C-alpha cells in the first residue's frame, strides 16, 4: 500500500504508465495492483501479473477514468474471462471482443497474428514470427506501447501501431539472427529500423 501511495503521488504530470511485469501474485500484491489500476488517472498498459490481479474481475477495469490497454496472452485472457486457454485459442475473435466489451479497454491478444480489439472493431496484425515467442518479448511490447501512449496517441491507435512495429522489428531481427536464436534484446535492437521502414513507406502488406 505504501508503494501504491508513492506511485499515485508521482502520477500528476505524467502521461502514461505500465503495470504488471515482474510484480508477483501474492494476495497483498494483487490488492495493491487493483487499487493502483483503478486510481491511476493516466493512460495505462496492463500486462502480466497486473492482468492476473483481475482474474475473474475483468469488469472492474471499466471503472477506470483514463484509457486502458490490456496485453494478455491466451492463458492470461482465459483467467480474465473464466475460460480455459484452449477455449481462448479456439475462439480468439470472440474472446478478445468479449474482453474489450467487459473491460471498456483496448485488448491486445498476443500470439500468431496478434489481435487488437477496441472501439467496436478488431484489427489483425500481419507482422511477427514464431521466434518471438521467447521470454521478454512481451515486456518489449509493453514498453513500446506505453511510450506511444505517453506521446498522446489514442489507446487503439497506440496498440495497433505498437503491435505492428514490434512484429516488424522481430521480422527484421529474424533476418539477421534466425528464428531459433531470436531474443527480446534482438527485437529492441531492431525497433529503430522498424520505425524507419514505416516512415519511409518501405513496408508492403505489413512486412518489410
**Between 3 and 142, the higher pLDDT residue:** 142
- Is the per-residue pLDDT at 31 higher than 90? yes
- Is the per-residue pLDDT at 206 higher than 90? no
Return all residues near 108 (Cβ < 8 A) that are at least 6 apart.
Answer: 69, 70, 71, 72, 114, 115, 116, 141, 145, 159, 163
Q: Is residue 206 part of a domain?
A: no
Q: Is residue 195 part of a domain?
A: yes
DSSP string covering 122-167: EEE-----GGG-STTHHHHHHHHHHHHHHTT--HHHHHHHHHHHHH
Domain that holds residue 101: 2-199
**Predicted local distance difference test score (pLDDT) of residue 203:** 57
Instruction: Give percent of the chain with pLDDT exceeding 70.
Output: 97
- Is the per-residue pLDDT at 7 higher than 70? yes
State the chain's mean pLDDT as an integer: 95
- Is the per-residue pLDDT at 204 higher than 80? no
Average pLDDT over residues 120-125: 97
Q: How far apart are CA 183 and CA 102, in angstroms?
A: 34
Q: Is residue 155 part of a domain?
A: yes
Number of domains in the chain: 1
Q: Which three cell numbers stand for residue 63?
A: 471503472
Q: Is residue 123 part of a domain?
A: yes
The CATH number of whichever domain residue 159 belongs to comes to 3.40.1190.20
- Is the per-residue pLDDT at 157 higher than 60? yes
C-alpha gyration radius of the chain: 17
The pLDDT tens digits for 95-119 are 999 999 999 999 999 999 999 999 8
**Predicted local distance difference test score (pLDDT) of residue 119:** 86
- Is the per-residue pLDDT at 207 higher than 50? no
Measured in Å, how far apart are the chain's first and last C-alpha atoms? Answer: 46
The pLDDT tens digits for 40-91 are 999 999 999 999 999 999 999 999 999 999 999 999 999 999 999 999 999 9
pLDDT band at 202 (very low <50, low <70, confident <90, very high): low
Q: Is residue 6 part of a domain?
A: yes
Q: How far apart are CA 67 and CA 118, in angstroms?
A: 11
Q: How far apart are CA 129 and CA 112, in angstroms?
A: 7
**Predicted local distance difference test score (pLDDT) of residue 205:** 46
Q: How far apart are CA 187 and CA 194, in angstroms?
A: 10
Q: Is residue 136 part of a domain?
A: yes
pTM of the model: 0.94
Are 70 and 108 in contact by the 8 Å Cβ rule? The answer is: yes
Q: Is residue 194 part of a domain?
A: yes
Q: Is residue 119 part of a domain?
A: yes
Q: How far apart are CA 60 and CA 95, in angstroms?
A: 17
Amino acid at each position: 500500500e505504501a508503494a501504491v501511495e508513492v506511485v499515485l503521488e508521482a502520477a500528476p504530470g505524467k502521461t502514461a504508465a505500465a503495470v504488471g511485469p515482474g510484480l508477483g501474485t501474492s494476495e497483498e500484491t494483487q490488492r495493491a495492483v487493483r487499487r493502483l489500476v483503478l486510481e491511476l488517472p493516466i493512460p495505462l498498459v496492463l500486462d502480466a501479473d497486473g492482468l492476473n490481479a483481475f482474474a475473474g474481475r475483468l469488469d472492474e477495469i471499466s471503472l477506470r477514468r483514463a484509457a486502458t490497454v490490456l496485453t494478455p496472452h491466451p492463458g492470461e485472457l482465459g483467467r480474465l474471462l473464466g475460460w480455459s486457454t484452449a477455449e481462448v485459442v479456439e475462439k480468439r475473435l470472440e474472446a478478445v471482443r468479449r474482453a474489450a466489451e467487459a473491460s471498456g479497454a483496448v485488448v491486445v491478444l498476443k500470439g500468431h497474428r496478434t489481435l487488437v480489439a477496441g472501439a467496436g472493431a478488431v484489427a489483425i496484425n500481419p507482422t511477427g514470427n514464431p521466434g518471438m515467442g521467447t521470454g521478454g518479448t512481451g515486456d518489449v511490447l509493453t514498453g513500446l506501447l506505453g511510450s506511444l501512449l505517453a506521446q498522446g496517441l489514442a489507446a487503439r491507435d497506440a496498440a495497433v501501431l505498437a503491435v505492428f512495429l514490434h512484429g516488424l522489428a522481430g521480422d527484421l531481427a529474424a533476418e539477421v539472427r534466425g528464428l531459433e536464436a531470436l531474443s527480446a534484446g534482438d527485437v529492441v535492437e531492431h525497433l529503430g529500423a522498424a520505425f524507419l521502414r514505416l516512415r519511409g513507406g518501405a513496408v508492403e502488406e505489413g512486412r518489410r
